[in-house]
Amino acid sequence: MADEASLSVGVPRETFPGERRVALTPNALPAFTKVGLRIIVESGAGAEAGFLDEAYTHHGAEIGSRADAFGADIVLQVRTYPANPDAGKCDLDLLRPDQLVIGLANPLANPEGVAELARRKVTFFAMELVPRITRAQSMDALSSQANIGGYKAVIRAARLLPKMMPMMTTAAGTIPPAKVFVLGVGVAGLQAIATARRLGAVVQAFDVRPETKEQVESLGAKFVEVPLDTSEAKGTGGYAKEQSEDFLRRQRELMAKVVAASDIVITTAQVPGKKAPVLVTADMVRGMAPGSVIVDMAAGQGGNVELSQPDEEVLVNGVTIDGPTNLPSTVPVHASMTYAKNLTAFLMNMYNGKERILKVDTEDEIVRESLVARSGEVTNARVRQALGLDDPVQQPPPTPVPAAPAQPAAATTGKVP
């Protein structure tokens, strides 16, 4: 049995529709158990990703109910309540003051959800807000999941395209390679470029941040030059900044010919907390050849493509527009494994294994920037601004997180022989 004073980590099953990922995978558990953390996994939490309860118990976890998982000192989720506002309501009464909740939260799009967790007095961390600094690279969940999304976007496009991707020279003649155009060269866009190139396509790409040109060319793709002033295009954390409608209109006019000549267009442009910019208009779609494919990775944030619909395939003049909103969940094994590594690194940054305490130290930039609620207050400046709360919150001094009072043992414990 675990030491009654040990901090516990709960892993509930995800309830967002279509979500197949799990916050911790069995291979991540030794990093927790060897430093004295007790792991409680809700029965069936990993089943959608192919991780059965037996695999968790084999690595030292306990299997219990949803209440057991939410009764832990620290709750790890893929989608916390603000990112799962409908189904997540059922879990709110399972939370308790001073409990740590860590996961993806969509905090800038749903600041009211953050405020609700603040009212419950939980200590809440949003993985989207982990700063993009060298020390936090292993914790960057947005990048790990976007990387998977960019790969899968090209695979989906290849499935929908009525052509082959690579050039082939055969006795019947030469088949030209497919032409792929990637709009937005962040992590997802770069992976989309790399994947399309591996499949043999000719790839072009564009981003409003001029410094991405070198990255595009390093992958063997061509950077589309657009003669517009993009010097102010870079925003917080390396993301693209929201541009004016006039800028977007002129950008669309200049890119229309490239879109029309493409077999596949992958759009990835998103601005944190804002509606995605429309990069491909209805007229641009109608200018593409029948059989062409567009995958709009921003469909869940309003869409980069004027005619896209979230989680639907729309056919317009023979052009297929795919609007997936959760591509990482379509490959849940590796998406869960990479996300689990992000959470492990994030939590261990706060956990002192020798003293077996977890300290929320806001002097640490990683902790300070990702902390969104604590002691009944919304603490993150950008989330507060979204709520109309402009006054800054005075951060309390570093405090250790105590273990909760001993609870009855979960339903299953120990290792499988």
Catalytic residues: 132, 137, 140, 143, 239
What is the torsional sign of CA 214, 215, 221, 226?
Answer: negative
Spell out where 15-135 has E strands. Answer: 38-42, 62-64, 74-79, 100-104, 123-126
For residue 300, which of 131, 145, 144 has the smallest C-alpha distance? 145
Query: CA distances (Å), 374 to each of 120, 301, 330, 397, in order?
Result: 9, 28, 33, 12
Distant-in-sequence, close-in-space partners of 388: CB < 8 Å, separation ≥ 6: none
For residue 161, which of 281, 262, 269 has the smallest C-alpha distance? 262
As a whole number of angstroms, the distance between CA 314 and CA 323 comes to 8
**Beta carbons within 10 angstroms of residue 249's beta carbon:** 12
Query: CA distances (Å), 389 to each of 276, 373, 380, 384, in order?
Result: 24, 13, 10, 5
As a whole number of angstroms, the distance between CA 266 and CA 91 comes to 36
Length of the chain: 417
Answer for the pair 77, 103: CB distance below 8 angstroms, yes or no: yes
Collapsing DSSP to helix, strand or coil, 264 comes out as strand
Residue identified by tokens 């509930």 is 12
As a whole number of angstroms, the distance between CA 25 and CA 153 comes to 24
For residue 67, which of 84, 43, 31, 87 has the smallest C-alpha distance? 43
Query: At 30, phi and psi to the nearest 5?
Result: -55, -30
For residue 226, which of 245, 250, 244, 242 has the smallest C-alpha distance? 250
Collapsing DSSP to helix, strand or coil, 133 comes out as coil
